[in-house]
Amino acid sequence: MLRRVAAIGLVCQALWLQPATAEEAGGPCAPDAFEDARYLVCTVDPAASDLRLFWRGADEAPFRRFERVAQSLEAEGHRLVFAVNAGMYDTDFSPIGLYVENGRELRPLDRTVMTGSPGSIPNFYKQPNGVFFLGEAGAGILSSDAFETQRPAVRFATQSGPMLVIGGALHPALIPGSSDRTRRSGVGVCANGAVRVAISEGRVNFHDFARLFRDHLGCPDALFLDGGNGTGLYDPAQGRDDTSWHGGYGPMLGLVR
C-alpha cells in the first residue's frame, strides 16, 4: 500500500514538473511590443493545429459574431481557442475577393485594378494585394497574381490587401513615417511555417506594421487583414470578445480544439 501511494506521489510530482502547454500558459496569443507600439500576437503551427476559416453557419447566414462561431463549435464538441477578423467584407458581411472554405470556392478571386491617387484607392485594391491560404503543405501567402498563376490546392483561403511583406521585402508603396495611423491586423507566414496573427493595440502606419512582421516576427510574407474599427479578436484567455462597430464581421480565422 505504501509503495502504491509513493508511486502515485512520484507520478503526480512528474506531472507537476512538466512544462505548461500553450493553452495552460494562457493560449497562443500574447502581448508583444516592437519599437514604440504594443501588439497582441497569436502564433500557430498549422501542421499541428486545426486552423480554419468561418463565414456562414448551418442556416447559410453569416456568423457575424465570434461568439456564434464558438457556440456552433461547442454544439459539435469543439472549442474556439481564438479568432480574428480574416479580411474585408461587404455590407452583407460577404467576403470581398477570394474565399475558400473546406475546399469550396465560395467567392472568386478579385482581380480588379483601380487607378487614381494612392489615398483614393481602398486598402484591398492597393496592388499587390494577396491571398492567405491553408492547404496540404501548410500555410502560405501569395500575391493575387501569383495565386492566380499557381492555383495551389487549398482547403481554406482568404484574399485581402495590401500585401505587407513579399519574399522578405516590404511592399514598395509603404511610406516610412506615414501619418496614416490606425489600429491594424494582419497575418504572416513565418519561420518554420508558423502562422502569426498580429493586432495593434494602438495606431500604427503600414510601414511600421509591415516591419513588425519582417523584422520582429521573422515573417518573409505577410498580408494586411483589416484596420480601424474592423480589427477584431476573440480570445477568452485575454478577456477579449470584440464586436464590430457596424453589426458584425465577415470571414473569420479561428483556432479550433
pLDDT digits (tens, 9 = 90+) for 221-237: 999 999 988 899 999 99
Residue 10 clears pLDDT 80, i.e. is over it: no
H/E stretch holding 144 reads helix 144-150
What is the C-alpha separation between 43 and 29, in angstroms, rounded?
7
Residue 3 clears pLDDT 70, i.e. is over it: no
Which pLDDT band holds residue 7 (cuts at 50, 70, 90)? very low
Over residues 148-176, mean pLDDT: 96
What is the C-alpha separation between 165 and 17, in angstroms, rounded?
40
Residue whose grid cell is 480570445? 235
In sequence order, what are the beta bridge partners of 233? Answer: 84
CA angle 207, 213, 214 (to 5 degrees): 85
